[in-house]
């Protein structure tokens, strides 16, 4: 069997320095070798080759599903809808599946996690996807004892799946440190990276159950703003710190915007209320007037400038989130807003019951 990089799963080779899996020839004899790309990502924060191609990630995920007895689907709570593309759900639907709703540590401290779990469950039911749910934090360890119990009860090989940058590799790294993984504290674990598409092929580790756990390449979703930017700009949009919110009384003619990336223009407001802007990344929402829209969007200079914009009209009901995939969301409180959304071409939006704040469950 050809040796694989334990960091990204790429087949080890020593002839193509600019390709996945390259290792200098004098290191090929090491028992648990990592490729040059993973070494540079881990030590210098540099990904000089870039992400795996979408068609290659799908091919690897299909191969992993043929091997697996069950699936752990990791979803980012802060960018939830973007983490559930229909094609990926369709691929894993026939396997026993647990959804690990990751990054619970980024939610406001007062948010009850049982309520979040119920919210996730109802969103999955709305999508027609039935699966068990555990709310976890790969950074803080929340939910991992229950996660380990589910894996032990599976009694089979487990594939970890999810879209890019939801924290799959960090989930695996923590599982391997637990008794379930035999305590791989000194051994090579998946490469944890802020870059999308770090994992190239499926790589696996033996569990104390006698079965194996495998990491798969991240599925590359469509319509996520962070995927339309260069790697450096994308890093700025990936949720990595506690969710921040800003509350704005909004009237007709006002705009909420993230400079150079998105604008939400109030066309009509049907009473007294507020809009709340949420972000878990390095960017945040601001309030301005519609007369300054050109300045903040089309004329605002960013490292990655937007060449083409789209404009969509929606009505946002109270206690409803307007999710901009790969960026953040805005939520209405107390009243209804007619909004005009200005986004880079190709970015998707979705509406959902509010994640943060009091909820009405079915």
Q: How does pLDDT run across 201-212, given as a tens digit for each residue?
A: 667 788 888 998
97-111 CB burial, b ≥16 within 10 A, e <16: bbbbbbbbbbbeeeb
d(CA 166, CA 280): 13
Cα separation, 261 vs 244, in Å, equals: 18
Residue 229 lies in a domain: no
Residue 215: pLDDT over 70: yes
List the beta bridge partners of residue 350: 323
**Residue 134 confidence class, pLDDT cut points 50, 70, 90:** very high
Which pLDDT score is estimated for 35?
81
Q: Which residue has the higher pLDDT, 108 or 28?
A: 108
The pLDDT of residue 194: 54
pLDDT of residue 238: 86
Mean pLDDT computed over 230-250: 88
Each residue's pLDDT tens digit, 164-173: 889 888 898 8
Give me the residues paired with residue 248 across strands: 275
The answer to whether residues 157 and 29 belong to one domain is yes
Decide if pLDDT at 259 tops 70: yes
Q: Are residues 288 and 255 in the same domain?
A: yes
DSSP 3-state assignment of 43?
helix
The enclosing domain of 200 has a CATH number of 3.40.50.300
For the cut 90, the answer to whether the pLDDT of residue 30 exceeds it is no
Whether residue 56 is found in the same domain as residue 128? yes
Residues in the chain: 362
Residue 10 lies in a domain: no
**In this model, does residue 297 exceed pLDDT 80?**
yes
Within a 13 Å sphere around the CA of 55, how many CA atoms are in the beta-carbon half?
0
Is residue 266 domain-shared with residue 146, that is, in the same domain?
Answer: no
Residues 209 and 251 in one domain: no
- pLDDT tens profile 42-80: 777 777 666 666 677 788 888 889 999 999 999 999 999
Query: What is the domain extent for residue 314?
Result: 244-353
Query: For the CA atoms of the chain, what is the radius of gyration?
Result: 21
40 with 118, same domain: the answer is yes
3-state secondary structure of 290: helix
Q: How many domains does the chain have?
A: 2
In terms of average pLDDT, the best of 34-48, 55-69, 127-141, 177-191 is: 127-141
3-state secondary structure of 10: coil
Separation of alpha carbons 354 and 357, rounded Å: 7
Q: Are residues 213 and 309 in the same domain?
A: no
pTM summary value: 0.85
Average pLDDT over residues 134-158: 94
User: Average pLDDT, stretch 150-161?
Assistant: 93
Q: Which tokens in the block code for residue 119? A: 């919210």
Is-contact 106 78, C-beta < 8 A? Answer: yes
Query: Does residue 261 register a pLDDT over 90?
Result: yes
Instruction: Give the DSSP per-residue string, 223-260.
Output: S-GGGGS-HHHHHHHS--S--EEEEEE--TTEEEEETT
pLDDT of residue 276: 97
| pLDDT exceeds 70 at position 190 | no
- What single-letter DSSP state applies at residue 69? S
């Amino acid at each position: 069997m050809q040796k694989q990089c334990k960091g990204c799963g790429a087949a080890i080779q020593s002839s193509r320095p600019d390709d996945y899996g390259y290792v200098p020839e004098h290191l090929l004899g090491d028992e648990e070798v990592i490729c040059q790309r993973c070494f540079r990502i881990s030590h210098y924060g540099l990904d000089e080759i870039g992400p795996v191609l979408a068609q290659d990630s799908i091919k690897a995920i299909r191969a992993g599903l043929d091997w697996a007895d069950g699936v752990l689907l990791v979803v980012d709570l802060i960018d939830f809808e973007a983490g559930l593309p229909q094609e990926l759900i369709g691929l894993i639907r026939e396997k026993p599946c647990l959804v690990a709703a990751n990054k619970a540590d980024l939610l406001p401290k007062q948010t009850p996690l049982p309520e979040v779990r119920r919210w996730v469950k109802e969103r999955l039911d709305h999508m027609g996807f039935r699966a068990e749910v555990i709310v976890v934090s790969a950074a803080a360890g929340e939910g991992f004892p229950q996660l380990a119990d589910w894996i032990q009860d599976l009694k089979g090989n487990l594939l970890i799946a999810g879209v890019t940058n939801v924290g799959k590799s960090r989930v695996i790294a923590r599982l391997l440190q637990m008794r379930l993984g035999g305590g791989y504290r000194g051994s090579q674990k998946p490469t944890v990276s802020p870059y999308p598409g770090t994992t190239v092929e499926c790589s696996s580790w033996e569990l104390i159950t006698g079965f194996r756990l495998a990491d798969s390449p991240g599925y590359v979703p469509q319509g996520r703003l962070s995927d339309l930017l260069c790697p450096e700009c994308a890093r700025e949009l990936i949720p990595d710190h506690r969710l921040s919110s800003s509350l704005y009384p909004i009237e007709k003619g006002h705009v909420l915007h993230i400079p150079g990336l998105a604008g939400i223009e109030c066309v009509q407001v049907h009473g007294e209320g507020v809009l709340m802007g949420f972000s878990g990344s390095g960017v945040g929402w601001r309030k301005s007037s519609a007369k300054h829209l050109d300045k903040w969007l089309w004329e605002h200079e960013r490292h990655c400038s937007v060449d083409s914009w789209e404009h969509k009209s929606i009505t946002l009901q109270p206690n409803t989130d307007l999710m901009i995939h790969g960026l953040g969301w805005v939520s209405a409180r107390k009243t209804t807003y007619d909004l005009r959304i200005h986004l880079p071409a190709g970015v998707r939006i979705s509406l959902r019951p509010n994640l943060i704040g009091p909820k009405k469950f079915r």
